[in-house]
Amino acid sequence: MQSTPPVCDYTDSDYQTSFWDQGGRAYEDRAEAIALRRLLPSEGGQRLLELGAGAGRNTPRYTGYQRIVLLDYSETQLQQARQRLGDSERYTYVAADIYRLPFMPGSFDGATMIRTLHHMADAPRALEQVRQVLQPQSAFILEYANKRNLKSMLRYALRRQSWSPYAPEPVEFAALNFDFHPVTLRAWLKQVGFSIERTLTVSHFRIGIFKKLLPTGL
């Protein structure tokens, strides 16, 4: 039996409050909202799987889908999502491991994974699980931490970080926190059967002063 990779567990975390509500992340939140508007299918769909849904911050933005399944490893994060969104037939809350998705093949015609892949020690395995539960031609919106960002390139050039942002392998800069090279990520997606139709840069700069000065739609 194949062992499950380690999981980053947000149980009892104040992530929503400390990172989003009080963490000065308005730029990132607006940038994600713009990206989702551009990437979500205009025609919507029947059932969308939100992987790593957390407290449901992005869930109201999936307006085109009739039903949304919010999946997270942490039950307390899902409790926060339920408090935010309420009990509705439109929303289903599922506590589960992305490496072992509890759904039949082809259960969904859309999926998102935002601010979640960077916690995946075995990203290809997670992506393969997502592909299996999607119907053919379904939309999958994936956000990932790009190791080839301006901050890491500057730090590497100034010899303030040891790892190269240009090397293809993922870098684990903190426990269960990974940055990925875009070429490697694209190869993994194609390997499990996805075709890439569009790519957007979201919060590429990662430097506070730039986030204050530059428009989110850049």
Q: What is the pLDDT of residues 141-199, one digit of tens each?
A: 999 999 998 889 999 999 999 999 999 999 999 999 999 999 999 999 999 999 999 99
Q: Distance (Å, rounded) from C-alpha 182 to C-alpha 146? A: 6
How far apart, in whole angstroms, are the C-alpha atoms of residue 16 and residue 57? Answer: 8
- pLDDT value at residue 203: 64
Q: How far is it, in rounded angstroms, from Cα 175 to Cα 166?
A: 21
Cα dihedral 122, 124, 126, 127 in deg (nearest 10): 160
Distance CA 153, CA 83 (A): 40
71-86: pLDDT as tens digits: 999 999 999 999 999 9
pLDDT band at 26 (very low <50, low <70, confident <90, very high): confident
**Annotated domain spans of the chain:** 15-146+172-212
> Which candidate, 143, 80, 84, places its Cα nearest to that of 112?
143
Higher pLDDT, 117 or 26: 117
Is the pLDDT reported for residue 3 higher than 90? no
- The pLDDT of residue 209: 43
Tokens of 54: 């957390």
Higher pLDDT, 213 or 202: 202
The Cα–Cα gap between 120 and 171 comes to 12
97 vs 7: CA distance, rounded Å = 8
**What's the CATH code, domain 15-146+172-212?**
3.40.50.150
Average pLDDT of the chain, as a whole number: 91
DSSP code string of 43-85: T-EEEEEEET-TT-SSGGG-TTEEEEEEEES-HHHHHHHHHHH
Helix (H) or strand (E) holding 213, with range, is helix 208-213
| pTM as predicted | 0.90
Closest CA to 189 of 147, 148, 149, 140: 140
Q: What is the number of other CB atoms lying within 10 angstroms of the CB of residue 155?
A: 15
